[in-house]
Amino acid sequence: MEDYVRIFDTTLRDGEQAPGATMTAEEKLRIARKLDSMKVDVIEAGFPAASPGELRSVQRVAELVEHAEVAGLCRTREGDIRAAWEAVRVGRRPRLHVFIATSELHMEHKLGMTRAQVLEQIRQGVSLAAELCPTVEFSAEDATRSDVGFLQEAFALAVSCGAKVVNVPDTVGYTMPNEYFDIVTAVRQAVGEQTIISAHCHNDLGLAVANSMAAIAAGARQIECCVNGIGERAGNAALEEVVMALRTRQDLMKITSRVDTTQLVSASRMVSEITGLSVQWNKAIVGRNAFAHESGIHQHGMLQNRETYEIMRPEDVGFNESNLVLGKHSGKHALRARLDELGYRLDDEQMRVVFEQFKKLCDRKKVIYDEDLHALVNDGFGGDEQRYTLEAIEFSSGSNVTPVAVATMRVGDRVVTETCQGDGPVNAAFEAIKKCVGREELVLEEYRIEAITRGSDAQGRVFLTIRSGEFKARGDATHTDVVVASARALVDALNNHALQEQLYESGELRRAQEVRATGWGV
């Protein structure tokens, strides 16, 4: 086997399980294109058995991706495996990712199975998967709390049944680096040198990347991770941190990945924009302050030699040293060139849409920063047909004036206009929009706003969550006027809420909830 660390990205599957991070099918496709462009080795696109909609979403990713393997997650059950195969078989390089729990805790309380029954499930499930798909990966859920001897037995059986990759998940982020090194070493002894060993680490104790490095030192040659480290609970190992740790300390690790690191920042921004999960300013590699220096001593050292306080070059991960790039006199060629540098590959129609929005933004802002461009691209493609469209929002307020908003909405084939008062202009706008769509019962559960760039003309990005009945929905939008951004974010949430209701009525959402309740994920 060629000796390099394979990057298995599970942003679309485990990452999407982060609370509030649910993605539409179109959003998944955009992220999949980005990951494929970055040269990740494997893209885990979802859990096809969860619902017919999830199966179609994984199928579309498999059809789209040109270079990476596309994996579908499935339990050892026949129905799961056949659904996953139906989803990924259309891809150029399909993979089935089969799993079952092996810890005493999970076997007793979740599965209700004995060791012998779990081994039989592995035999049946992996054998069937190997009959269908040329590449099968087997995961032992909660491996780090499993008996090591039984773990070795389970993995050896999976390999004998056709698994080419075995995954050792630290499902609950429990293990320590030295302990994980020993577990991976034991697994390696059981499965031999020709089997690829994978590490899937959660970050509950903040050790996901450290444990991933320990696994590589022990012989693992695949790391399962997510962009920005998103995922269940405290998240997964961060792709950008794993990749740059390998690249920066190649002197120590003696191995690296094949990922194009210059696209790490743009991938981070894309995932953050789509999921609404902000990247903390001091986040390693891709955070806003990752290459910022305020201390006078540090600044003096940087002026003499950047290596005094920087172990990586910002351009190696996709930061541009001069963030001021475009303005109202810039043309389409200049915009496309900068978007290419940021890692976006747009076709002519996508470029036309983004350029139109770029020119409108230039009328409101003197300076266009890279962060503005990330927002433009990620706001520019709605994807699915929208039930609600905001045609116009007008408002007035002041210290001695009752705030009033007038909203004009397209609801299906109708255009509706309503006027409402509120405690402030945002509240008034929300009330008018809710009245337009006949959803006055909607409750705003979360609302936050962030300035995308500096300056008084900075765009504001609004993230919010609404609830009606048992359904919650997230929305986000960007504009230089925070009231307009807020109104657009609410309409985005309303469309997402309507989609959830539609899926529930069709049975797809109920099916996904039932499957999730049985405990899936590694």
Distances (CA, A) of 86 to 7, 54, 72, 73: 24, 12, 10, 12
Same domain, 323 and 252: no
Instruction: Identify whether the C-beta of residue 98 lies closer than 8 Å to the C-beta of residue 126.
Output: yes
Q: SS3 for 134? A: coil
Does some domain include residue 512?
no
Q: What is the mean pLDDT of the chain?
A: 89
- Are 432 and 475 contained in the same domain? yes
8 A C-beta contact, residue 491 and residue 483: no
Cβ neighbours of residue 448 closer than 8 Å, sequence gap 6 or more: 462, 463, 464
Counted domains in the chain: 3
> What is the pLDDT confidence band of residue 322, given thresholds at 50, 70 and 90?
very low
Do 192 and 331 belong together in one domain?
A: no
pLDDT of residue 66: 96
Is the same domain home to 245 and 336?
no
- Max mean pLDDT among 168-182, 351-365, 450-464 falls in 168-182
CATH number, position 144: 3.20.20.70
Give the residue numbers spanning the domain of 41.
6-275
> Model confidence over 396-432: pLDDT tens digits?
988 888 999 999 999 988 999 999 999 999 999 999 9
CATH of the domain at 354: 1.10.238
Q: Is the same domain home to 83 and 148?
A: yes
One-letter amino acid at 298 equals H
Instruction: Compute the distance between CA of residue 378 and CA of residue 357 in angstroms, rounded to an integer.
Output: 11
In terms of domains, do 12 and 138 share one? yes
Contacts of 81 (CB under 8 A, 6+ apart): 74, 96, 98, 125, 128, 129, 132
Segment 349-372 shows an average pLDDT of 82
Residue 125 inside a domain? The answer is: yes
Residue 45 inside a domain? The answer is yes
Range with the poorest average pLDDT among 200-204, 240-244, 276-280: 276-280
464 occurs within a structural domain: yes
- In angstroms, the CA 367 to CA 355 distance is 15
Contact 229, 238 (CB under 8 A): yes
Please report the pLDDT score of residue 321 as a whole number: 47
Would residue 519 count as lying in a domain? Answer: no
From CA 46, how far away is CA 72, in angstroms rounded? 6
Residues 73 and 193 in one domain: yes
Residue 373 shares a structural domain with residue 398: no
User: Residues 312, 234: one domain?
Assistant: no
For residues 264 and 477, which has the higher predicted lDDT (pLDDT)? 264
Is residue 144 in some structural domain? yes
- CATH number of the domain encompassing residue 466: 3.30.160.270
Distance, in Å, from the CA atom of 208 to the CA atom of 205, rounded to the nearest integer, reads: 8
Q: How far apart are CA 201 and CA 76, in angstroms?
A: 21
Question: What stretches of 301-426 adopt beta strand conformation (E)?
Answer: 324-326, 368-369, 388-398, 401-411, 414-421
- pLDDT value at position 419? 95
460 and 311 part of one domain: no
Residue 516 lies in a domain: no
pLDDT (average), residues 14-42: 89
144 and 241 belong to one structural domain: yes
Same domain, residue pair 266 and 353: no
Instruction: Supply 216's token pair.
Output: 């590589």
In a domain, 288, yes or no: no
Which of the four pLDDT bands, split at 50, 70 and 90, describes residue 324? Answer: very low
